[in-house]
């Protein structure tokens, strides 16, 4: 049986990345790990990863008016975009989900650094879950997770 290791990150869709970084830092004491512009799911986005206690928060801003983040904000406004869950075996996890009738509307291997799939929000009370298997293996401590994230962003291109 496949196992969820942890919440990998919590992603928030934002209109203004710099403003969001400032708010999360000033109000919650979050620490900026890294900012980057990248292509994900066919759209260019700007992202910032923040350390908040033992949690990684991803702030996602659209850089294209017709991209998935822009469409999300247009429909639902700023806020929770998805919950990232790290699993030990994505193939086994997907097989188990299929047996439960869970829909998987999207799969990809962004930047070749991880494999992931999205679970339909219709199956999880309106919440999109991004299920991730990192190719660089386990990262037990927060420092290990931040180092893995930085290496992955370097390879992402």
Flag whether 110 is in a domain.
Answer: yes
Flag whether 151 is in a domain.
Answer: no
pLDDT of residue 42: 79
Rounded-to-integer distance, Cα 157 and Cα 41, Å: 14
Contact, 13 vs 69, CB < 8 A?
A: yes
Q: Assign residue 120 the CATH number of its domain.
A: 3.10.180.10
Flag whether 143 is in a domain.
Answer: no
Flag whether 40 is in a domain.
Answer: yes
Nearest to 4 by CA among 120, 153, 130: 130
Flag whether 87 is in a domain.
Answer: yes
Rounded-to-integer distance, Cα 26 and Cα 127, Å: 27
Q: Considering its fold, how many domains does the chain have in total?
A: 1
Residue 2 tokens, joined: 């496949």
| Single pTM value for the model | 0.91
pLDDT tens digit sequence for 30-62: 999 999 998 877 789 999 999 999 999 999 999
Flag whether 145 is in a domain.
Answer: no
Rounded-to-integer distance, Cα 151 and Cα 114, Å: 12
Residue 36, domain extent: 4-137
- Helix, strand or coil for residue 31? strand
pLDDT of residue 24: 98
pLDDT tens digit sequence for 2-27: 899 999 999 999 999 999 999 999 99
Flag whether 32 is in a domain.
Answer: yes
pLDDT tens digit sequence for 62-115: 999 999 999 999 999 999 999 999 999 999 999 999 999 999 999 988 777 889
Flag whether 94 is in a domain.
Answer: yes
Nearest to 62 by CA among 75, 106, 51: 75
């Amino acid at each position: 049986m496949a196992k969820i290791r942890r919440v990998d990150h919590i992603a928030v869709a934002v209109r203004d990345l710099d403003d969001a970084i400032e708010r999360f830092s000033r109000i919650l004491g979050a620490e900026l790990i890294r900012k980057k512009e990248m292509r994900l799911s066919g759209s260019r986005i700007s992202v910032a990863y923040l350390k908040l206690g033992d949690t990684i928060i991803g702030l996602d801003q659209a850089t294209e008016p017709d991209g998935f983040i822009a469409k999300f904000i247009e429909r639902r406004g700023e806020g929770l975009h998805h919950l990232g869950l790290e699993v030990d075996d994505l193939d086994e996890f997907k097989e188990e989900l299929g047996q439960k009738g869970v829909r998987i509307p999207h799969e990809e291997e962004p930047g070749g650094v991880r494999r992931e799939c999205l679970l339909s929000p219709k199956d999880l009370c309106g919440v999109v879950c991004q299920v991730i298997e990192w190719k660089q293996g386990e990262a037990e401590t927060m420092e290990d997770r931040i180092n893995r994230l930085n290496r992955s962003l370097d390879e992402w291109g």
